[in-house]
Structure 1
Amino acid sequence: MLIVDAIATLLGGALLLRFWMQAIRVRPPSSVAQFTFQLSDWLVRPLRRIVPGVGGYDWASLIGAFLIVLLATSVLLLAGWPPQAMLLMACQRFLQWILYGFMALLVVEAIFSWINPHAPLAPFVRALNEPLLRPLRRVVPLVGNLDLSLLVALILLQIANILLGMAFGGR
């Protein structure tokens, strides 16, 4: 189960990153684009024939990520879980992947700001986080020239994760 989860999380993360980059119109550095597209094209291209992009969103990538989490969670059927529970767990895990992905991006931005704010990937990560941080920056004041919006975003995402766990029965 651990290997299935690791592979599913890597692939699902690439699909979610692909969706987010396209949704907010961020052009990735070539290394990130190459990694993301090579890892996910085998699933996204066929899905695009069935689910075209609508409203400027790459729905095939998002649906692909959900299909990956559903497939990884279906291993639970082998353990005797009822199909309804498996579907609910897949929905919970999918939403958790999204929350954890945002948390990871925020942590990477914090590390870049401490260690090397001029790293080649720093502007890309900053651009990915901007839609999350922009509304918070309007509300959270600078403290001694220190932007705490990143910390507030992490706390809010953690709260959302806790509420998600409570909504799905504390799993």
Structure 2
Amino acid sequence: MSERELRKMLDCASAFCERHFAAKGEIAPMWHAVTSDGRTLIEAHPVELGKDLAAAMIRTFFDLRDVVRYVYIGEAWTLNRMIRPEEHEELFRKGLSQHPDRVEVVQLQGEDRDYGQIIMSRDIIRPNKGKPYLGPLQDINDLPHIPAGAHVQSEGRMIGMLPVRGTRQ
């Protein structure tokens, strides 16, 4: 049940991105969350606070509202290939924004308290002539450069945003 609900939210977010990107040419980072009592919350990501403080604020907000499922959408850089071991240190220091093989995407990151995480993306295609548009929705684990049987494990400040469960429940 929870995987199905999370995938429905991701599909809804993807459709929103399609419409909004066609109209505006960009996607502002935002959160679509569902609380334990079924309330829906839509919140802009507080980019003005900086990366670390914004992530901490969203985590606190999700804890106070008892969020059980969310989807985050935002533009990002990625590579459409495996990172070579010799690239790790430089990518950690500089990020992907200057990498010659970078690809611009809209990332859709979802997490469910019971199911776990799903990350999907849509390439941002900027033709020489005409308006930019989004490519098809792709599950990160299904990308052609991911070896068969491998599973992508994400980490960072924007992963694991749901409240930690324990004796409080």
- Give the structure with the higher percent helix: 1
Q: Would you call these one fold, judging by a TM-score over 0.5? A: no
Report which of the two structures shows the higher radius of gyration computed on alpha carbons. Answer: 1
Q: State the TM-score, normalizing by the size of structure 2.
A: 0.26
Q: State the TM-score, normalizing by the size of structure 1.
A: 0.26
- Give the structure with the higher percent strand: 2
